[in-house]
Amino acid sequence: MEPRPPGRDGIGELIGLEYVETTPERIHARVPVTEDILQPAGLVHGGVYSAMAESVCSAATWLAVQGEGMNAMGQSNSATFLRPITKGHVNAFARPRHRGRTTWVWDVEITDDDERLCAMVRMTVAVRPSR
């Protein structure tokens, strides 16, 4: 897999998504904590976790299936928040759990820079023919 999936990722660019490690079995991406991604209470907005998961999992699935004329897009995104992040980076570690013909399922762990688990996201990606 390439260090950064190709193509434009508008929301990823807006939040500063950076790919740290990409292998077929694990993706590590991160977002720096800035004022732009904080909610009024000073915590990283929960939507950032979901956006990170969808960007990373959709891009990784697309890299795996695009050679077969297929496309990948988010189908379901379920996040559980455990502890807040207020500084440093939001780190996303994604692992594929199911690689089907029409659906891929990913588990994403969101941690802070101290490697504390802050959120978990189950991401389902639809695989469909490209147009």
Q: Which H or E run includes 34?
A: none
Q: Which H or E run includes 50?
A: helix 46-65
Tokens of 109: 């762990």
Contact 20, 28 (CB under 8 A): yes
Residue 54 falls in the annotated catalytic set:
yes
Q: What angle do CA 33, 39, 40 make, to 5 degrees?
A: 125
Spatial distance between the Cα atoms of 50 and 62, rounded to a whole number of angstroms: 18
Closest CA to 107 of 92, 91, 96, 118: 96
Catalytic residue among 54, 68, 109, 115: 54
Catalytic residues: 54
